[in-house]
Structure 1
């Protein structure tokens, strides 16, 4: 899920060690067609889930060095490095544990209970299955992670509050670090 096409997956394999070496994890990578040029979009984060502008610039420089030397993409392209954002994609099994209790949408590569799309509250992970409390259902559904082609958090008040709380904690931490240095 981190890479949709075979080319995306090859780029993830190439760039994962680069990102990890500078302290980041690739959440999702997409090489997309454009009118004038292609765009390589990399969503990444630090292991603590944070990603700021300086982090994006640092990862962009590291990735650019490898892309320039290996040249795995034919033709011109634009490199875009960003954080996954508040209503982020969920692409790794650990994401479903990290965001337990929040609302998400899942799309599967096959029918399950007569449908491919599911929406509900994440209830963690069991083995290689995503646990999700579906709207209108009484039991927790187990969805094989291997069947999921796309998943993302739903933008809700609860998610916005969580994001605001995390930003406030990060700012407070940065300010206390700065005052300790003075």
Structure 2
């Protein structure tokens, strides 16, 4: 998160927590004379509902009106994390060890800024990843953006891939006579 997003997150987290929810993270995108403020919330042990988003939006808007941390006009959005959940903290990476994540780094590491890798662990503020080019240790402050890559087959949202034969060719089913 940017410095402004962190500041706003610290201001709003107690309000979100008072509603029994978790503030996962904030995206703050100023553009010209306006800005977008997107809050991602989670409901421990259950799915986030539209009622949760509405309640957070109402309560947070009141805090923002009083504290006025954004000097320009802005649009407030409150969202559930979705199946391609964004990851904002090293602790959140730790919750999803074994899952794949799509990452964008601030500074290139091993010659790359964008890649998909499996989360293998977290040591302090260092995220451990298994990538096709080998294992990586990425300091969390070098991660600009990260999202889980959902396994659509496991979620039942995509068909199983068809088996392939030697050399990657698809095998034809034998006809029985």
Could you say which TM-score interval applies, normalised by the shorter chain?
0.7 to 0.9
Give the count of matched residue pairs.
157
Unaligned regions of 5+ residues in structure 1, if any?
163-182
Residues 112, 32 of structure 1: alpha-carbon distance in 2 compared, 3 angstrom cutoff: closer
Report matched runs for 1:37-56 at 5 Å.
37-48=34-45, 50-56=47-53
1:146 pairs with 2:136: no
Residues 159, 104 of structure 1: alpha-carbon distance in 2 compared, 3 angstrom cutoff: farther
Matched with 1:31 is 28
Tell me if the contact between 1:22 and 1:62 (Cα under 8 Å) persists in the aligned partners: no
Q: Deviations over 1:57-88 (max 9, x none)?
A: 11112211211222222243222111011111
Residues 49, 9 of structure 1: alpha-carbon distance in 2 compared, 3 angstrom cutoff: farther
Q: How far apart, in 1, do the equivalents of 2:18 and 2:80 lie?
A: 18
Residues 38, 19 of structure 1: alpha-carbon distance in 2 compared, 3 angstrom cutoff: same
TM-score between both structures, scaled by the size of structure 1: 0.74
Residues 16, 65 of structure 1: alpha-carbon distance in 2 compared, 3 angstrom cutoff: same
Q: CA RMSD in A?
A: 2.4
Q: How far apart, in 1, do the equivalents of 2:5 and 2:106 lie?
A: 18
Structure with more helix by fraction: 1
Unaligned regions of 5+ residues in structure 2, if any?
158-177
Q: How far apart, in 1, do the equivalents of 2:48 and 2:69 lie?
A: 26
Shift of residue 136 of structure 1? 4.5
Rg bigger for which structure?
2
